Structure 1
Amino acid sequence: MTRTAILSDIHGNLTALKAVLAHVQTQQVDRIVCLGDVVGYGPQPCECLDVVMEFAFCVLGNHDSSALFDPEGFNAAAEQAIFWTRSKLENHAGEESADDQQPPASRRRLDFLCGLPRTIREENILFVHGSPRGPTNEYVMPEDIQNGKKMEKLFSLVPHLCFQGHTHVPGIFTTDLNFLRPTEVPEGYDVSDSSARLMINVGSVGQPRDLDPRSCYVIYDQQHVFFHRVEYDIEDTIAKIEAETELDNFLGYRLRDGR
């Protein structure tokens, strides 16, 4: 039985990513995957990309896309952060590779971002950043359970399970229009019924927004889904953001409140 650690929305927060990976190492997983937004907001985009490039796979997030192309619909702080992120990626263009047979690290990072797929499907499991209908950009918020037409359309595109991120709010959407938060399924959630359809938001490693400042990720063992919360040194990330004059300090301060 394969055990998969599913991470999402790292957002350049290397301190959080390291803490999560240390926890993952205690869980006897077979592989690690990422649902996008490796960069954006946070102070260490290049370092986070270097880590994620070693994962089994990663899908494209909207911030990953915006690091390559012009952002759309971003607020001022997010737009400023993504342009800063792009400059960090591009400023490594002259670095030398330790291996003459390998391109410089900056080229490998940009090539990695350029090659990210919008979706990954493994049998009846779908992996996206946003939603099964809008894999990169569509939000599925907890309050959407009140929008029956939207949810009906989304679930019609789910083969069995759809793992997603983007909102930074973890939980499980069911076809009877419920949203189960991690606190409601502390012992995990049974997903073994292949006739059931579920959308599972795995939460955010680097910028949680469910009023819990701890990082969140999921382990899927083909029978159950388990949510894990991991504490990390938030003040370390805040200090790194404060040290970058082109990053809005609010992007760090909000981490204290998980919002």
Structure 2
Amino acid sequence: MTRTAILSDIHGNLAALESVLEDVAGQNVDRTVCLGDVIGYGPDPCACLDKVMEFDFCVLGNHDSSALFDPEGFNIAAEQAIFWTRAQIECGSDGPEASMRRMEYLCALPRVVQEDGPVADVGGLPLVGGLMFVHGSPRGPTNEYVFPEDTQNIKKMEKLFSLFSHLCFQGHTHVPGIFTSDLRFVRPVDTDDGYSITDTSQRLMVNVGSVGQPRDGDNRSCYVILDDEKIQYRRVEYDIERTVRAIEAEHELDDLLGHRLRDGR
């Protein structure tokens, strides 16, 4: 049984990432992957990139992309943060070789990763489900948002569900939960010890939540463990004030980016 830790939206929050990785270390996982937005907002982009570069894979997030190109659609605080983040990566204190290595890593990130998923016995026949990993959505892998209220947008959801065969893992909204093909949104608190995925004829979009910028009213980091039978959400406490202090100490980062971490918003 393969166990995968799926993280997303770290956003330069090293304190959160370290706590999550400590939790991951106790979960007997075979691999760790990331769904993008390693950087942006937070005070430690280089350190977070260095840790994620050791993961099995990472896909491109919109903040990762904006560190390479001009940001589009960002508010003032986010735009200012991404320009500061770009400067940290380009001119890191550990020298030009480390800076080049990080930039090359960002440039090589794929927008989508697709794999075969778990095998289920349906009617005596083994059926293999497909896995898709994106930052935003199956249709807009880097930038499209899928919010819980989109379950009311039938045309949008039908299109998204038509683009993958079994499971699509995503982040971007920082709001964890499972979208079902019958247009329900199942929140982590309603999944008990895990949400079954053994029916490979079922299609699910799984938002794994955010490590570094939770926005569902719970200020703990959120990530997912995937095995051959279920999806399990995990919430991890971290030293929020450490990140708040680091943001406040950097005059080019808006203090709001740290203060909102306390409320999980």
Identify whether the pair has TM-score above 0.5, normalized to the shorter chain.
yes
1:82 aligns with 2:59: no
Alignment root-mean-square deviation, CA: 0.9
Q: Assess if the C-alpha contact under 8 Å between 1:6 and 1:219 holds in 2.
A: yes
Residue type of the alignment partner of 2:114? R
Q: Which runs of 5+ in 2 are unaligned?
A: 117-129
Output one character per residue of 1:195-244: Cα deviation in whole Å (capped at 9) or x when no partner.
10000000000000000000000000021000000000000000000010
Matching residue of 2:38:
38
Task: Give 1:90 deviation, angstroms.
Answer: 1.1
- Distance (whole Å) between structure 1 residues aligned to residue 230 and residue 94 of structure 2: 46
Residue 128 (structure 1) aligned to one of 104, 124, 134: 134
2:178 partner SS: strand
Task: Tell me if 1:148 matches 2:154.
Answer: yes
**Is the 1:38–1:64 Cα contact (8 Å) retained in structure 2?**
yes
Deviating beyond 6 angstroms after TM superposition, the runs of 4 or more aligned structure 1 residues are none
TM-score (norm 1): 0.96
The separation in 2 between residues aligned to 1:181 and 1:251, in whole angstroms, is: 25
The letter of the residue matching 2:106 is: L
Write 1 or 2 for the structure with the bigger share of strand.
Answer: 2
Query: Hey, what's the Cα distance between the residues in 2 that align with 1:12 and 1:189?
Result: 29
Partners of 1:139 and 1:156 in 2: CA distance: 17
Residues 8, 94 of structure 1: alpha-carbon distance in 2 compared, 3 angstrom cutoff: closer
**1:26 aligned onto 2:32:** no
Q: Return the alpha-carbon distance in structure 2 between the equivalents of residues 93 and 184 of structure 1.
A: 45
Q: Distance in 1 between matches of 2:94 and 2:239?
A: 32
5 Å matches for 1:198-209? 198-209=204-215
Following TM superposition, by how much is the alpha carbon of 1:150 offset from its aligned partner in structure 2, in angstroms? 0.3
Q: 2:233 aligns with which of 217, 227, 233?
A: 227
SS in structure 2 of the partner of residue 107 of structure 1:
helix
Distance 1:217 1:106 in 2: 28
Distance in 2 (alpha carbons) for counterparts of 1:48 and 1:235: 18
- CA apart distance, 1:186: 2.0
The equivalent residue for 1:14 is 14
Q: Which amino acid aligns with 1:192?
A: T
Cα drift, residue 93 of structure 1: 8.2
Unaligned runs of 5+ in 1: 97-103
Q: Answer yes or no: is the 8 Å Cα contact 1:6–1:32 preserved in 2.
A: yes
Establish whether residue 249 from structure 1 lines up as the match of residue 255 from structure 2: yes
Partner of residue 194, structure 1: 200
**Amino acid in the other structure paired with 2:154:** G
C-alpha deviations, 1:144-201, integer Å up to 9, x for none?
0000000000000021000000000000000111000000002100011111000000
Count of equivalent residues: 252
Q: 1:115 aligns with which of 104, 108, 119?
A: 108
Distance 2:216 2:164 in 1: 24
Aligned equivalent of 1:101? none
